[in-house]
Structure 1
């Protein structure tokens, strides 16, 4: 069975194929799909407000020397920072559960579970996974 060019998926426009060929890359239908999904994300960023306020994102972008007037890009960066903080918090929670699990073996089985508390040791272990070293000052130990 011969595959016709129509079955191969969407073909690049002449401009896209020309620009990709000039860069030494071949344009693929996957690139077009990625462009569409990025455009959809940027449109969704108009209505989305990340937990990190825009003013905080603006401050740190300005402090880093980045000038960006597109609010959607700023919110996308805020969303990335929010995910980073959430990942660290999730990892710290896992370290806390592991620590409490090892201590729980020594306790009696009939006691109610205690509340989970985030300690500096749990946070330090989670941040260490991301290459960030956090250490308590010596005078607190």
Structure 2
């Protein structure tokens, strides 16, 4: 009978079967090394760590935190770009030429739904801090 290698070895072998050129490997290693020293993402490490802890994930490696920050930045940028493209299409269909482009909830909601994020407006909106409060009669 042949010995079965440990599960970690089998999993690693499965993923390392793909051949990666030495040039790509070196560029990835440089990028990961730069995450710890030279790179400062737009989303601060403290905010990323806060949300990671809230979700139950803890990692002391700063590079991992910054990699997650980059992924979040990319996600937000993709959504913003798609909203912009959608807004431009709607604007050209209506043949309006406004000088300012403003991201509205109406533009954002359909794009967020394509990413699986459901956002609902409040059913009741108070335009004053006293609306809905019970007045005491003396």
TM over 0.5: yes
**Taking structure 1 as reference, are residues 137 and 19 closer, same or farther at Cα in structure 2, changes over 3 Å only?**
same
Moved over 6 A (4+): none
User: What is residue 45 of structure 1 aligned with on the other side?
Assistant: 35
Q: Distance in 2 between matches of 1:101 and 1:37?
A: 42
Q: Distance in 2 between matches of 1:98 and 1:115?
A: 15
* Contact 1:51-1:82 at 8 Å conserved across structures: yes
SS of residue paired to 1:50 = coil
**Taking structure 1 as reference, are residues 29 and 117 closer, same or farther at Cα in structure 2, changes over 3 Å only?**
closer
In the superposition, the TM-score normalised over structure 2's length comes to 0.70
Q: What do you get for the CA RMSD once the two structures are aligned?
A: 2.8
Which runs of no fewer than 5 residues in structure 1 stay unpaired?
1-17
Q: Distance in 2 between matches of 1:32 and 1:65?
A: 36
User: What is residue 55 of structure 1 aligned with on the other side?
Assistant: 46
> Which of 118, 131, 134 is equivalent to 1:133?
118
**Taking structure 1 as reference, are residues 54 and 28 closer, same or farther at Cα in structure 2, changes over 3 Å only?**
same
